[in-house]
Chains A and B, each alone.
Chain A
C-alpha cells in the first residue's frame, strides 16, 4: 500500500513542480515573445502590403518601413476578449489603408493572413502571410508572389473562395487546402472589417501604439 502512495505522490509532485516552474517562465518570456511575433511576423506582412503601394523596396528601405510600422499599430476595443490589433498603411503620409490579421484552417494548424483594405473604397490592397505550418515546398508556396499578387486591388465584393468551390481565387495546384485557408482567412478578415469598419476608422487617427 505504501508503495502505491509513494508512486502517486512522487509523480504528482514532479508534475506539479514542473507546471509551476513553467508557469513562472511563461510569465517571464511572454512579453518578449509577443514583441517578437509582432516584429518578425505581423510587421513584415504589413510591409508586404505596403510594398504593393510603393513598388519593390530595397532591403534598407524595407527595414526603415518595418521600423516605421511599429508606430502604426492601433488597438480598438470592440468588446471582444482582447482589444483588436490593426495597422495603418500610409500613402504619401495620409492614411490610405488598414491592415488586419485573421486566420483560416490550413493543412497543419491555423494559417494567418494580414489583409489590407483601402479606407475609401473598402477594396483589397493586398495580403501578406503571417504564420503558417504548412508542408514545406507545397503549402508554403502560398507565400510566393505568384500566388499573392492575384489579390492586389481585388474588389470588396469578390467571392473569396477557390475556383473549385465556386469563387474567384486561383488555387495553387497541389496546395488546394492551403489556398483555401488563405481565402477563408481573407473572408474572415473582410467580414470583421465590414462589421467593425466605423470603430476601426475612428481608431486610425488615435495616438499611435495605444497599449492594450
Chain B
C-alpha cells in the first residue's frame, strides 16, 4: 500500500474520528436525529476539513509556529462561513435543520486536530488524502449513527423512504439527547467487537 492510500484509508477504519478517537462528539450527538442531517453535517465538515488541511499544508512553511493556531482558526473559520453561505443559497432546508451546528464546525476538534497533528508536518497531497479520509470517516460515522437513531426513534428513513419503515412503535427516546449517547455507545461496542474478532 502506498503511503497516500494509507493516509486516506486510516480515517475510514483504523482511526475513524468518531468511533476510535471519539472526537467531534458535539455535532455527532446533536444533529444525528435524521439520516439527512447526519449526512449533510458530515459532508459540510468533510469539505471544510479537506480545504483547510490542503491550505494549511500549503502554507506550513510560511506560518510562524508562534501564531499557527490563530492562523489555522482564521482559515478554518473562513471555510466554515463559506460553507454556511453556500448551504443557505443552495440547500436551504438542510441549513435550517442544522442551524447553529454549521457555524460550530469551526470548533470541531477533528478539523483543528488534523491541522495540528497532520497538515502542518506533511505535504499537500498527503494532507488532502488525510482530510478526505478523515472527513469521509466522520461522515460515515454520523450517517450510521443518524440512521440508527432515526430508524429506532422516529421509525422513518426520510432520505430513502418517504413513509414509516419500522412497523413496531418507535422509541422516541432515541431522538433525544440521552438516546444519542446510548446509540453511540452501542455503535462503539459493536466497533470494538468487530475489530477484536478481526485480530
Chain A residues packing against B (C-beta within 8 Å): 3, 6-7, 10-11, 14-15, 18-19, 21-22, 25-26, 29, 32-33, 36, 39-40, 133
Please determine whether A40 and B96 come into contact, CB atoms closer than 8 angstroms: yes
List the 7 closest A-B pairs by CB distance, nearest first: A18-B78, A29-B89, A32-B89, A36-B92, A29-B85, A7-B67, A33-B88
Task: Report the minimum CB–CB distance from B48 to chain A (whole Å).
Answer: 13
B66 surroundings in chain A (CB, below 8 A): 3, 7
Please determine whether B82 and A7 come into contact, CB atoms closer than 8 angstroms: no
In angstroms, Cα B51 to Cα A152, docked, is 51
Please determine whether B74 and A18 come into contact, CB atoms closer than 8 angstroms: yes
Cβ of B125 < 8 Å from any Cβ of A? no
Please determine whether B86 and A29 come into contact, CB atoms closer than 8 angstroms: yes
Known contacts A19-B78, A25-B82, A32-B89; 7 additional CB pairs below 8 A are: A7-B66, A10-B71, A11-B67, A29-B85, A29-B88, A36-B92, A40-B92
In angstroms, Cα B91 to Cα A32, docked, is 11
The verdict on A14 contacting B64 (CB below 8 Å), with A29-B88, A133-B99 known, is no
Please determine whether A22 and B78 come into contact, CB atoms closer than 8 angstroms: yes
Please determine whether A14 and B88 come into contact, CB atoms closer than 8 angstroms: no
A-B contact pairs, 14 of them (CB 8 A): A3-B66, A6-B64, A10-B63, A10-B64, A11-B67, A11-B74, A22-B78, A22-B81, A22-B85, A29-B85, A32-B89, A33-B85, A33-B88, A36-B89
Please determine whether B70 and A11 come into contact, CB atoms closer than 8 angstroms: yes
In angstroms, Cα B90 to Cα A25, docked, is 13
The verdict on A22 contacting B92 (CB below 8 Å), with A11-B71, A14-B74, A15-B74 known, is no
Please determine whether B85 and A18 come into contact, CB atoms closer than 8 angstroms: no
A3 surroundings in chain B (CB, below 8 A): 64, 66
Interface of B is mostly: helix
Cβ of B77 < 8 Å from any Cβ of A? yes
Cβ of B75 < 8 Å from any Cβ of A? yes
B64 surroundings in chain A (CB, below 8 A): 3, 6-7, 10
B71 surroundings in chain A (CB, below 8 A): 10-11, 14
Task: Report the minimum CB–CB distance from A56 to chain B (whole Å).
Answer: 21
Please determine whether B96 and A18 come into contact, CB atoms closer than 8 angstroms: no
Please determine whether A133 and B82 come into contact, CB atoms closer than 8 angstroms: no
A7 surroundings in chain B (CB, below 8 A): 64, 66-67
Chain B residues packing against A (C-beta within 8 Å): 59, 62-64, 66-67, 70-71, 74-75, 77-78, 81-82, 85-86, 88-90, 92-93, 96, 99-100
The verdict on A18 contacting B75 (CB below 8 Å), with A7-B64, A7-B67 known, is yes
B82 surroundings in chain A (CB, below 8 A): 21-22, 25
Interface centre among B67, B70, B88, B89, by most chain A C-beta atoms within 10 angstroms, is B89
Nearest B residue to A36, CB-CB: B92
- Contact residue among B70, B85, B93 (Cβ-Cβ distance under 8 Å from A25): B85
B96 surroundings in chain A (CB, below 8 A): 40
- Contact residue among A10, A29, A39 (Cβ-Cβ distance under 8 Å from B67): A10
Task: Report the minimum CB–CB distance from B90 to chain A (whole Å).
Answer: 7
A40 surroundings in chain B (CB, below 8 A): 92-93, 96
In angstroms, Cα B172 to Cα A186, docked, is 35
In angstroms, Cα B95 to Cα A33, docked, is 11
Task: Report the minimum CB–CB distance from A37 to chain B (whole Å).
Answer: 8
The verdict on A21 contacting B78 (CB below 8 Å), with A29-B85, A40-B93 known, is yes
In angstroms, Cα B79 to Cα A22, docked, is 9
In angstroms, Cα B85 to Cα A15, docked, is 18
Nearest B residue to A24, CB-CB: B82
In angstroms, Cα B88 to Cα A39, docked, is 12
B59 surroundings in chain A (CB, below 8 A): 14
Please determine whether A26 and B70 come into contact, CB atoms closer than 8 angstroms: no
B85 surroundings in chain A (CB, below 8 A): 22, 25-26, 29, 33
Nearest A residue to B88, CB-CB: A33
